[in-house]
Amino acid sequence: MDRRDFIQRASLGALALSFPSISAISGFSKESAMGIVVHSYGFRWNSKVDSKTYQGFANALDMLDHCNKIGAGGIQVVVNKWTPDFAKKVRTRKDKLGMYVEGSVGAPKNESDLARFEQDVKSAKEAGMQVLRSVVSSGRRYETYHSVQAFQDLKKNALASMQLAEPILSKYKMKFGLENHKDWRADEQAAMLKQIGSEWIGATIDFGNSISLLEDPFEVVQTLAPYAFSTHIKDMAVEEYEDGFLLSEVPLGKGILDLGKMVEVCKKHNPAITFNLEMITRDPLKIPCLKEEYWETFDEMKAKDLARTLRMVRQHKTTLPRVAQLSPEGKLEAEENNILASLNYSKSNLRLT
């Protein structure tokens, strides 16, 4: 950590502890401020660590309260078997704080799963949500699927899932954004969304995930922005390793993405789009694009995509942060510092205030 980082994070930490709500600061508006995805708090969510400084979040209410104090505009949180009473509490709390809430729900697997899906959508509506985020795969493409046919089956099942979900989403007037979750390349996802042709089913654009599929992140945003309801905004850094490259989320402004351009493209297509920080504090992910197994699901892939990606890795090579060696308290601290630094960058550089 350099001197500027230290001063910046120390100041942010002091601010978070000194003010009951940063919304009281003159000129701050929650309406367009960046939100926070629950996965940004992977260590703190349901934490069992006995920490006085970084107390765990037991539910969405705890996360709302904390994110309000540090100046976030809203949260994106998992909705799963919420009771009507709890959904009402979430709505009351978010309205009192002047924040937004988005839900993360599981897409319906089949007809027998529709009752569960409708209950989660109904709970989200009762909690005052307008947008949901979901995925339609069971893991990273290069780790979970091992043939072209396996991925074609995924695409078929995903389309069927969305066709089952659409009437329920229409009934509750709920926007449903599918994330590019290291599974679909952008053109594949856009083709499916176009085939579905529903005003209620679109995209949640993850700014960095598709680097793992050798895509240009700016081109991904350009392709999916016409369908986007929401985003996972993040910055990424890369490091070489023998089988390809390593990929990590890093605090906004510390990575290789042109965040300003990506934000503007999203706003151009949807002025009401939300920007939700997904700053996952973890060890780097391995992208084994030089191993034969990586290519098992791709029937078409241009050599220039691999060449461009490896060239980018070499141009921006660095040593990525690791956290596995930290104590439980140290992991909580690193996680909070990364989020605070990203919030500060979003306000000062991206004008998400």
21 falls in which pLDDT band (50, 70, 90)? Answer: very low
Q: Are strands 235-241 and 244-250 parallel, antiparallel or unpaired?
A: antiparallel
pLDDT at 107: 97
Q: For residue 224, what are its two tokens?
A: 């999916």
Percent of the chain with pLDDT over 90: 89
pLDDT at 13 over 50: no
Q: pLDDT digit string (tens) for 25-62?
A: 323 344 579 999 999 999 999 999 999 999 999 999 99
For the sheet containing 235-241, what is the strand order? 235-241, 244-250, 285-287
pLDDT at 14 over 60: no
Percent of the chain with pLDDT over 70: 91
Q: What is the domain class of 28-237+249-284+323-348 according to CATH?
A: alpha beta
Q: How high does pLDDT run on average in the chain?
A: 92
Distance CA 229, CA 204 (A): 6
pLDDT at 323: 98
pLDDT at 1 over 90: no
Place of tokens 């934490």: 47
Distance CA 1, CA 158 (A): 43
Q: pLDDT digit string (tens) for 296-308?
A: 999 888 899 999 9
11 falls in which pLDDT band (50, 70, 90)? Answer: very low
pLDDT at 117 over 90: yes
pLDDT at 244: 97
Q: Which residue has the higher pLDDT, 300 or 312?
A: 312
Place of tokens 């809203």: 74
Distance CA 226, CA 222 (A): 8
pLDDT at 353: 81
Q: pLDDT digit string (tens) for 164-210?
A: 999 999 999 999 999 999 999 999 999 999 999 999 999 999 999 99
- Report, as an integer, the average pLDDT of 149-160: 96
Q: Are 205 and 292 in contact (CB under 8 A)?
A: no
274 falls in which pLDDT band (50, 70, 90)? Answer: very high
pLDDT at 16: 41
Q: Are 201 and 176 in contact (CB under 8 A)?
A: yes
pLDDT at 4: 43
pLDDT at 2 over 50: no
Strands (E) in 72-196, as ranges, are: 74-78, 100-104, 131-134, 175-179
pLDDT at 328 over 90: yes
pTM of the model: 0.90
317 falls in which pLDDT band (50, 70, 90)? Answer: confident
pLDDT at 22 over 60: no
- Report, as an integer, the average pLDDT of 245-253: 98
Q: What helix, strand, coil percent values describe the chain, rounded to 5? A: 50, 15, 35
